[in-house]
Amino acid sequence: MTNRRLAGCWKAVHLRDMPVSSTYRPDPRLPRLGPDFADPVSAADFPETRLRFRNQRAAASVGLATLDDEEWCAHFGRFAPLPGNLETPLAQRYHGHQFRVYNPDLGDGRGFTFAQMREAGSDRLLDLGTKGSGPTPWSRQGDGRLTLKGGVREVLATAMLEAQGVNTSKTLSLVETGEDLQRNDEPSPTRSAVLVRLSHGHIRFGTFQRQAYLQRPDQITRLVDYMIETYYPALEAASDRRAALLEAVILRTAGMAAGWMAAGFVHGVLNTDNMNMTGESFDYGPYRFLPRNDPNFVAAYFDQNGLYSFGRQPEAVFWNLQQLAGCLAQGEVDQDGLVAALNSFGGVYRDALAAAMLKRLGIKAESPEADVALAGSAFRALSIGGDVLRWEPFFFDWFCGDAGRAMTSPRRHLYEAAEFADFRALVGNRTAERPERLSAAYFEQADPQELLIDEIEAIWKGISGHDDWSAFEGKLADLEIARTAWNL
């Protein structure tokens, strides 16, 4: 991942001979759904395009790393079409429950799907989706813009989550656009930006909800067929395609939620329109990372009842899956398979959480019962640490089950306590997964990388006050070192 900044980018670039890589393979499939699912739109004409971040590693995965910065701004600041791709951006239509209140007036209000292409190596279909690219038919009197601070926060969130092994969208680009925005939740006027994310699909639970609301079971069938053909081809021969799709989405979504819990991450806004059908975490607004274990910790100041608090995230995800199942039940459908799929969530999530905790601890799996017991012991140990033991250092100290590192860390006095005896015993009997990772220089440090709110605010203060991007760039470099160390 690299971050390159320019004083400014040209407003127009001749792209007839754009040097895309040989690994660039456009595959624009979204138009196959037809006009009932998306509207053609145009990007705003921004006063300037100033490149603030480009994710070179993500760009290489889809054959776009060979673009120079001028071409980059033309595509991801001005949204000139990519070769062989969507000729016109598409703003998707969807509905959704927002804090469990149904809203039929949603849709891509400040973004659109800009391109679709195949990922090198995996052959997955990936989307380029925007945030802050201007108004659409679904903006609801909004300006369709993104604050630069919001863009900076999302870049940091995706970098941290990727380092922790969470299935997340990748931030591909952040371009400052030279406008002053008025916002109620931060000092105004504030600077503007447009962000591009690289994601494994933007079809949301709310996409299905819209068709259910319109009483169009035929369109739900169309969506099911599109999802299976495009993202779940292994289900092509399923006798009950709706139940098979729901089961697959439950598996991936449970894994995503488990990843959040192991990362100590609070998404903040788990509405149905923020859940996609590929089980990938995306769209980071008022997120937070836990300073310490606290099931009641909330990310959004407006979540006054704690509906989406840290400890309630699995419940929120399951509730959203129930709404999806209700959409799939429309029409002449045998509902037994859908009910069975929903009933599997508890066991699927339990196993996914155990796997996510073992991954974070760098320990090999044994049996389902033993793995669940170890994961539960880790959560209890984090609770025992109370206000003293921070979330991320715990996983850092005990990585690969290395008691030697943990018991010589700055937090050894906590681990020596009798309350940690159960965890020490369980982890001491386990086998490390790729213990050679501990040879990375990252693990020689006293403390790991964290991304707590005070650090995010300090990074933004330097940018907003002095246009000083050094802390932002330094943090991304540090997170890349952490990602590489965890995933050697």
Which backbone phi and psi does 39 adopt, to 5 degrees? Answer: -120, 135
CB atoms within 10 A of CB 297: 17
Q: Is 330 helix (H, G, I), strand (E, B) or coil?
A: coil
Which backbone phi and psi does 90 adopt, to 5 degrees? Answer: -125, 120
**Residue matched to tokens 């776009």:** 64
**Residue matched to tokens 């079409």:** 81
Half-sphere exposure of 286 (CA within 13 A, CB side): 16
User: How far apart (Å, rounded) are the C-alpha atoms in residues 88 and 70?
Assistant: 21
397 assigned to active site: no
The CA-atom distances, in angstroms, between 388 and each of 291, 382, 452 are 10, 10, 15
Question: In terms of Cα–Cα distance, which of 89, 80, 148 is closest to 113?
Answer: 89
> Of these residues, 273, 283, 351, 402, which one is catalytic?
273
User: How far apart (Å, rounded) are the C-alpha atoms in residues 78 and 58?
Assistant: 20
The CA-atom distances, in angstroms, between 326 and each of 207, 211, 217, 220, 351 are 13, 11, 11, 11, 25
Structure tokens at 31: 């138009």
**358: amino acid identity, one letter:** L
CB–CB of 49/98 below 8 Å? Answer: no
Q: Is 73 helix (H, G, I), strand (E, B) or coil?
A: helix
Q: How far is residue 274 CA from its own chain's centroid?
A: 10
CB–CB of 406/415 below 8 Å? Answer: yes
CB–CB of 250/345 below 8 Å? Answer: yes
Which backbone phi and psi does 54 adopt, to 5 degrees? Answer: -135, 130
User: Following DSSP, what letter does each residue of 392-408 receive, concatenated?
Assistant: HHHHHHTGGG-HHHHTT
List the catalytic residues. 273
